[in-house]
Structure 1
């Protein structure tokens, strides 16, 4: 079977399990061949289907996320190693970086704090955007911090990105120009499906109303946001009003930013005091 034929057959198989069947097939084929997806597509008619493709396809048909199979995920301008110990970085979260780029249009943030850093995606994307910045990533999960440190090292940012265990911002001191925060925000016991079932529950669920972690984070933000700085906070599509109320109750100014699909996704928080 040729690579184009294999891709067509795999797409048909994956269509019952994935909304991105063709893309999944291409990513798996590229991984099996040890090529980038673009290189694979350009050369596909001259390539032979490797024996490793079928086992990779079987894993995806068993609902294993593509990022866990390939071990990597692209985010913003960087490529990250991903494991089941962290959330898989998603394009929706790039909305936080977009908001920061707009806020710091004429200057660069010097100090960046990433609460709930996971794989380090947000912090390392921001450090890639602003090469003079320094950053700190906090996470309660030791395995997640190991992934983040590995990503920083692979990206040549180990001297600019520090990572430490913590309970949100409880033991964090100082002020930061940019805070990036993507807490759990799914209502407890909400039925889920797809790739998210393979991701750590501790990074997903946040109590009966999905707001538990926002309640813990909000009181620390006034002391953490430096003058002229901002926090970019990811929210669920239906949480803008409730999370905004929590933040304003702590004296903060809040604006909303939507993602590319038009969903409420990011709250831009500043400290008028």
Structure 2
């Protein structure tokens, strides 16, 4: 068992606490200062601007003890989002815990593309498969209040998190379904099927580093080199999309050709892959037009 970092600082000001924590986290985190500031903000229930405005402020003993505990856990690798219980996505704070993936900026591309396809002044029907914490479904429901949005997940624990987020963010135009992809979905005629499914191969070395070590394997790993769930989604979505409905799927940066081939295999048209902010192929789209 690794030793807990020893705290030697005694001044206990915001400035000194952040400095000491950052030094401890620098060996295990590439964002040590940011991690320390976010954790201290969480303990103080303050913003980062408060830390900068009041560097000589001395938190109370209980706040300091909580901060030290969280920093020690972060030093052992626990993701900051799981320590604070929240992560921002599309300018909204979402509850997260180890039952769900941590929201990532790459997934905001799914939102951008979805909103570009769905006029704000028209009703539509959307389903988010493998919703996890609900970041996609809740965001689309909030941004398109005329839409009827469905969200499904195989994990009951994940659905509980998604329901909580929908309630907290006042997204009332949502229906949650416990389902393995489309298995329990009776609805059809969707304008949009969207998903961030598992797409990592079980032997991918990235699974042994960083935050993914703590995230649920069921939301990360897919058989057949990470492509089995995408294959199943593309096959089943045809039965639930309306004519000219769209399928949007997030995938790995190195899976563009394979995912496009899957879409073509099942007859989708106008298949395109879209790059994320880093320029990596991240989302593939296709239109369903039955012959």
Query: What TM bracket, shorter-length normalisation?
Result: over 0.9
* TM-score (normalizing by structure 1): 0.93
Name 1:198's counterpart in structure 2: 214
Q: Is the 8 A contact 2:120 2:144 kept in 1?
A: no
Superposed structure 1 runs of 4+ greater than 6 Å apart: none
Cα deviation 1:95-138 (Å, max 9, x = unaligned): 10011122235755521100001111110111121122221111
| Counterparts of 2:285 and 2:137, CA distance in 1 | 16
Q: Is the 8 A contact 1:176 1:229 kept in 2?
A: yes
Question: SS at 2:175's partner residue?
Answer: strand
Instruction: Tell me if 1:260 matches 2:277.
Output: yes
* TM-score (normalizing by structure 2): 0.88
Aligned residues: 271
Task: Work out which of the two has the higher radius of gyration on C-alpha atoms and give 1 or 2.
Answer: 2
Name 2:145's counterpart in structure 1: 131
For residue 45 of structure 1, the aligned residue among 41, 49, 55 is 55
Instruction: Tell me if 1:216 matches 2:223.
Output: no
| Counterparts of 1:171 and 1:185, CA distance in 2 | 22
Matched ranges for 1:1-273 at <5 A: 1=11, 2-38=13-49, 40-49=50-59, 50-51=63-64, 52-104=66-118, 108=122, 110-157=124-171, 159-172=172-185, 173-191=187-205, 192=207, 193-253=209-269, 254-273=271-290
Instruction: List gaps (5 residues or longer) in structure 2.
Output: 1-10
Question: SS at 1:168's partner residue?
Answer: coil
Q: Is the 8 A contact 2:15 2:56 kept in 1?
A: no
Q: Is the 8 A contact 2:121 2:146 kept in 1?
A: no
How far residue 46 of structure 1 moved from its aligned partner, in angstroms, is 4.9
How far residue 177 of structure 1 moved from its aligned partner, in angstroms, is 1.7
Instruction: List gaps (5 residues or longer) in structure 1.
Output: none
Q: Which protein, 1 or 2, shows the higher relative CO under an 8 Å CA cutoff with sep ≥ 6? A: 1
Q: Is the 8 A contact 1:115 1:182 kept in 2?
A: yes
RMSD: 1.7
